[in-house]
Amino acid sequence: MIDVKHLTKSFGDHLVLNDISEHIYPGEKVVVIGPSGSGKSTFLRCLNLLESPTSGTITFNGMEITNPKSNIDLIRRQMGMVFQHFNLFPNMTIRKNITLAPVRTGLMKQNEADEVAMTLLRRVGLEEKADAYPAQLSGGQKQRIAIVRALAMQPKVMLFDEPTSALDPEMVGEVLDVMKELANEGMTMVVVTHEMGFAREVASRVLFMADGNILEQNSPKEFFANPQHERTKLFLSKVL
């Protein structure tokens, strides 16, 4: 589904991603973990070109994202993204936050989009917040709305960039529950996270990144039971 070939990214002299090749298959739930500064967020952000790679190619369903001639907006419509800091639009109501993109991109009419928004909001238990503004919500509620906003575009894959890192501990659960539900429905997901429990429970594959390389990958069971690499062992001993 997403094919990454020889992806390299550097900021100035600093090499963040070092020749990464990876493939993400439909229906997979790939969880990327690793120490901070390892390049996991940059890797994720390259997948929908929020960061432009220094070299290498990324192909999504046969469309080459990294080709400057490809229409990046069309590709991004099929890739939902959830950010660490939610990035809801504070100048709009929740309803408008969710419906803006589907309506503006011509995916739906306003009334269809409103219906989709309400259905999705009901699913995450926030239908009474439709007319509230983001500033009136808690962090966990904001993140659930952000997920709904991305889902409203009916994406084929969802990218999560540390979706629970900015949340108060008691709100992490409600966001992870929504993500688990989404995973159970068969959504293709790439998740950068520090939630090892989530990785163990939901992932179909765990990638471990350090210093711009994917050092190790495995099924979650194997990964946590028998880490191969020294670096992985060190990391796991610190976080588990």
Partner 1 sequence: MDLAQLYETFKGLENPSIWQEFYVKFYNAWFFEDRWMSYFRGLVTTIEVTVIALMIGVILGVLVAVIRTAHDQQRPGSKNILNILLGIVNLVCKIYVTIIRGTPMMVQLMIMGFVIFASSREATLVGALALGINSGAYVAEIIRGGLMSLDPGQMEAGRSLGLGYLDTMRFIIIPQAFKAILPALGNEFIVLLKDTSLISVIAGKEIVYFARAIITKTYEPMFPYLITAVMYLIMVLIFTWLQTKLERRLRQSDRR
* Footprint on this chain of partner 1 (rule: CB under 8 A): 48, 50, 52, 68, 73-74, 76-81, 83, 85, 87-92, 100-101, 104-105, 133, 135-136, 149-150, 153
Q: How far apart are CA 146 and CA 83, in angstroms?
A: 8
Question: Whose Cβ is closer to partner 1: residue 78's or residue 228's?
Answer: 78
- Least CB distance to partner 1 at residue 100 (A): 6
- Least CB distance to partner 1 at residue 28 (A): 20
Query: For residue 107, how far is the Cα from the chain centroid?
Result: 22
Question: Whose Cβ is closer to partner 1: residue 150's or residue 171's?
Answer: 150
Helices of type H across the chain: 40-47, 72-76, 94-104, 110-123, 139-151, 169-184, 196-202, 220-225, 230-239
- Least CB distance to partner 1 at residue 74 (A): 7
- Least CB distance to partner 1 at residue 14 (A): 16
Question: Whose Cβ is closer to partner 1: residue 146's or residue 206's?
Answer: 146
For residue 4, the number of C-alpha atoms closer than 13 Å in the C-beta half-sphere is: 22
Burial class (CB in 10 A: 0-12, 13-18, 19+), 13: exposed
Question: Whose Cβ is closer to partner 1: residue 97's or residue 218's?
Answer: 97
**Buried/exposed 25-44: b ≥16 CB within 10 Å, e otherwise:** eeebbbbbbbbeebbbbbbb
Q: How far apart are CA 126 and CA 85, in angstroms?
A: 19
Question: Whose Cβ is closer to partner 1: residue 98's or residue 183's?
Answer: 98
Question: Whose Cβ is closer to partner 1: residue 136's or residue 184's?
Answer: 136
- Least CB distance to partner 1 at residue 3 (A): 20
Query: How far is CA 86 from each of CA 77, 97, 146, 153, rounded to the nearest angstrom?
Result: 18, 12, 6, 16
- Least CB distance to partner 1 at residue 225 (A): 35
Adjacent-strand bridge partners of 208:
33, 216
Amino acid at 148: V
Size (the chain), residues: 240
Question: Whose Cβ is closer to partner 1: residue 73's or residue 230's?
Answer: 73
Tokens 């503006």, residue?
104
- Least CB distance to partner 1 at residue 81 (A): 4
